[in-house]
Structure 1
Amino acid sequence: MNERRHNPRHTTEQALEAYDVHSARFLGRFVDISEDGFLLFCPQNIDVDSIWQIRVLEANDQHFHSILSFGAECLWIRQADDDNHCWAGFQIIDISAQDTKKLKALFCSPE
């Protein structure tokens, strides 16, 4: 597979989850993220080529305070080993300048 990423992927200091802004549907947990894309581990399939407005929350935040939000397109999915989950690769397609700064602040510092 050809590497098409323009920016390196990062893990984050905190566990992050993705939710659909419009339906509040839990989409999955972030595995890694960059300025232009991310990988989710999802409890159900996501349609390839689907567009989402995503709210990013810290896992287990019972108050549901958004850390940031952006628009993203699902580019691909792969079934996980247990067949009940999948891996989904997304491209960020719409993000504000303010949320871009918040996104960059989430990246773990290089060791």
Structure 2
Amino acid sequence: MDERRQHDRHEIALTVEVFDRNSGRYMGRLANLSADGFMLCGAEVPAADSVWECRLVPAPPLSDLGEIHLGADCLWSRYGTDGQLGWAGFHIIDIAEDQAGLLEELLSRL
């Protein structure tokens, strides 16, 4: 498989929830994260080729970081069957400088 990632993905053992900034819809929970993308799992994952404004909300003990806001393109998704969770991969396409600093801090603490 052609590996195109520029940054290592960090597996997430702690809880970081993802929400749509516009609707407040719960999108899922982070499975892994890098400086330029993430994978999430959830009951109703977004469709591939869709763009989202996301809020990443770390739970304790990472909640002191606060929310991280970013724009992300859903590159692929696999829907769960028979009550299983689905998976989706995202590329971060828009993040403010202060939010990028929070993302780096989150990555350093994983």
* TM-score normalised by length of structure 1: 0.83
* Cα-Cα RMSD: 2.3
Q: What whole-Å deviation, never above 9, does each CA across 1:3-28 have from its counterpart, x for those lacking one?
A: 11110011346310100001000000
Partner letter of residue 25 of structure 2? R
Query: Structure 1 residues 20-29 or 72-81, which shifts more?
Result: 72-81
CA contact (8 A) 1:9 1:33 kept: yes
Corresponding position of 1:36: 36
Corresponding position of 2:100: 100
Partner letter of residue 23 of structure 1? S
Aligned residues between the structures: 106
CA contact (8 A) 2:7 2:34 kept: yes
Cα distance change on mapping 1:85 and 1:67 into 2, 3 Å: same
Q: Give the whole-Å Cα distance in 1 for the aligned partners of 2:20 and 2:90.
A: 13
Q: Give the whole-Å Cα distance in 2 for the aligned partners of 1:108 and 1:66.
A: 15
CA contact (8 A) 2:16 2:57 kept: yes
CA contact (8 A) 1:15 1:29 kept: yes
CA contact (8 A) 2:31 2:41 kept: yes
Cα distance change on mapping 1:67 and 1:48 into 2, 3 Å: same
Corresponding position of 1:16: 16
Unaligned runs of 5+ in 2: none
2:26 matches 1:51: no
Sequence identity (%) = 37
